[in-house]
């Protein structure tokens, strides 16, 4: 039985580790400026926790086999209530490991979240509602116009879905779409809003996630660094359509982005 435990624990450990190393399933390709640092922190944590995982599981398996009761003639168990020195040593080591890891990652957190967006960032407002995402661009005046909850009507198109108040002059040039276009290599200054329940704007390739909370307008930023189409998945339970509340972020060149915005502005005339 001890041997069986050893075998199974070691097998599970090695299969898991092998799969983690070979990783047929892994983090999606990182397409934002922050992705490299986040992934590096992830891999560091992974390797360190992986070492602890293998050592702990293998010791467990080894000990239950090595110290199995071999019968009445075998020596008795060692009588010991513990070892204070060892306790102190492994407590300190564990604390150093955990706290150290945390402090390492905190620099990235600070860069992502403590600093506001740069002045040259592209402003985009993201509005989540059951069960779609809408994206608003402020247009040439650079200002987002007012919205009014009383004017919200998703069946009348994107502008009406977010309740754009067309009587506000700043709102006249706002572009509202169901697909998010972004220029590559430029930071985007997101304002996240939600209309009905909490949603979460999650773009796995951008290593970006932030809850969109009714009653708040949350500012956050990221910088896409590669042209392509990236999926958005809602990451906060929002009702029966949560599983299909997805969208697309299209990262294009700056020229293509300007052309696209101009085309949308032209449609509004």
Partner 1 sequence: MSTLAPNFAVKDPRARDAGGGAPPSFGGGGDGNSGGGNGAFDYGERLRRARLGLALGLTAVIMLFVGFTSALLVRKGLPSFDVQTNTYSRDWVPINLPWVLLFVNTAVLLVSSLTMEFARRAITRKAALAPVRSIPGVSLGDERGFPWLGTTVILGLGFLAGQLLVWRILHEHRFFVNTGPSSSFAYLLFATHAVHLAGGVIALMYAAAASWMLHRPVEAQRIVVDIAAWYWHFMALLWIYIVVLLMIVR
Partner 2 sequence: MATSEVVHAHAAPQGFIRKYIFSLDHKVIGIQYFFLALTAVWVGMFLSLLMRIHLIWPQVDLPIVGHIQPETYLSLLTMHGTIMVFFVLTTAPQGGFGNYFLPIQIGAPDMAFPVLNMLSFWTTFVAFVVMIAAFFVTGGAPLHGWTGYPPLSAVQSTGPGEGLGADLWITSIAIFCAASLMGALNFITTTLDLRAKGMTLMRMPLTVWSWFITAILGLLAFGVLLSAGILLLMDRNLGTSFFLPTLVVNGQLMGHKGGSPLLWQHLFWFFGHPEVYIAILPGMGVASQVLSTFSRKPIFGYRAMVYAMLAIGFLGFMVWGHHMFMSGMSPYSAFAFSLLTMAIGVPSAIKTFNWLGTIYKGRVRFYTPMLFAVGFVSLFVSGGLSGPFLAQPTLDIPLHDTYFVVGHFHLIMGVAAIFGIFAATYYWFPKMFGRMMNEGLGRAHFWFSFIGTYAIFMPMHYLGMAGHPRRYSQLTEVAYLHPLIPLQTFMTYAAFITIGAQFIFVINLFWSMFKGPKAADNPWDATTVEWTTATPPPHDNFGGQTPVIHNGPYEYGVPGAARDFVMQTDPAIGATH
Task: Tell whether residue 27 is a contact of partner 2 (CB under 8 A).
Answer: yes
Task: Tell whether residue 144 is a contact of partner 1 (CB under 8 A).
Answer: yes
| C-alpha span between 91 and 93 (Å, rounded) | 6
Task: Tell whether residue 147 is a contact of partner 1 (CB under 8 A).
Answer: yes
Task: Tell whether residue 179 is a contact of partner 2 (CB under 8 A).
Answer: no
Task: Tell whether residue 146 is a contact of partner 1 (CB under 8 A).
Answer: yes
| C-alpha span between 250 and 134 (Å, rounded) | 14
- Parallel, antiparallel, or unpaired: how do β-strands 246-252 and 228-234 relate? antiparallel
Cβ nearer to partner 1, comparing 13 with 147: 147
Q: How far is the CB of 215 from partner 2 (least distance, A)?
A: 3
Give the number of other CB atoms < 10 A from CB of residue 37. Answer: 16
Stretch of 12-20, 34-42, 144-152, 180-188 contacting partner 1, by CB under 8 A: 144-152
Rounded to the nearest angstrom, the gap between the alpha carbon of residue 168 and the centroid of all alpha carbons in its chain is: 35
Q: Give, for 88, the enclosing helix (H) or strand (E).
A: helix 84-109
| C-alpha span between 192 and 120 (Å, rounded) | 19
Task: Tell whether residue 24 is a contact of partner 1 (CB under 8 A).
Answer: no
The tokens describing 14, both together, are: 């090695």
Ranges within 40-69 binding partner 2 (CB under 8 A): 41-42, 45-46, 49, 52-53, 56-57, 59-60, 63-64, 67-69
Task: Tell whether residue 163 is a contact of partner 1 (CB under 8 A).
Answer: yes
Sheet containing strand 180-183, strands side by side: 180-183, 246-252, 228-234, 199-203, 208-212
Q: How far is the CB of 259 from partner 2 (least distance, A)?
A: 26
Residue span 133-172 as binding mask against partner 2, x where in contact by CB under 8 A, dash where not: ----------------xx-xxx--------x---------
Q: Which of 24, 71, 75, 149 binds partner 1 (CB under 8 A)?
A: 149
Task: Tell whether residue 215 is a contact of partner 1 (CB under 8 A).
Answer: yes
Q: How far is the CB of 20 from partner 2 (least distance, A)?
A: 8
Size of the site for partner 2 (CB under 8 A): 99
Cβ nearer to partner 1, comparing 74 with 216: 216
- Parallel, antiparallel, or unpaired: how do β-strands 246-252 and 218-222 relate? unpaired
Cis upstream peptide for 166 (omega within 30°):
no
The item of partner 1, partner 2, none sharing an interface with residue 193, based on CB under 5 to 8 Å by kind, is partner 1
Residue position matching structure tokens 């990783």? 23
The tokens describing 257, both together, are: 């982005």
Return phi, psi of residue 203, to 5°. -120, 95
Q: How far is the CB of 198 from partner 1 (least distance, A)?
A: 14
| C-alpha span between 39 and 108 (Å, rounded) | 11
Chain residues that interact with partner 1, rule: CB under 8 A: 144, 146-149, 163, 165, 193, 215-217
């Amino acid at each position: 039985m001890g041997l069986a435990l050893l075998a199974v624990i070691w097998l599970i450990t090695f299969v898991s580790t092998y799969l983690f190393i070979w990783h047929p399933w892994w983090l999606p390709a990182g397409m934002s400026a922050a992705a490299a640092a986040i992934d590096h922190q992830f891999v560091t944590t992974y390797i360190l926790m992986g070492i602890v995982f293998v050592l702990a599981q293998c010791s467990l398996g080894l000990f239950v086999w090595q110290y199995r009761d071999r019968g009445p003639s075998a020596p008795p168990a060692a009588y010991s209530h513990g070892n204070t020195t060892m306790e102190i040593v492994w407590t300190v080591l564990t604390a150093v490991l955990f706290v150290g890891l945390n402090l390492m990652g905190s620099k990235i957190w600070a860069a992502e979240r403590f600093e506001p967006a740069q002045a040259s960032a592209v402003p985009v407002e993201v509005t989540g509602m059951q069960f779609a995402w809408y994206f608003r661009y402020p247009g040439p005046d650079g200002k987002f116009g007012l919205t009014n909850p009383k004017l919200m009507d998703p069946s009348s198109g994107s502008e009406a879905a977010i309740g754009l108040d067309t009587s506000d002059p700043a709102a006249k040039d706002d572009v509202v779409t169901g697909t998010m276009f972004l220029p590559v290599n430029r930071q985007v200054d997101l304002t996240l809003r939600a209309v009905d329940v909490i949603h979460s704007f999650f773009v796995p390739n951008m290593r970006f996630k932030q809850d969109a909370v009714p009653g708040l307008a949350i500012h956050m930023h990221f910088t896409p660094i590669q042209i392509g189409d990236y999926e958005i998945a809602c990451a906060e339970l929002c009702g029966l359509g949560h599983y299909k509340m997805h969208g697309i972020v299209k990262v294009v060149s700056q020229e293509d982005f300007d052309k696209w915005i101009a085309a949308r502005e032209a449609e509004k005339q």
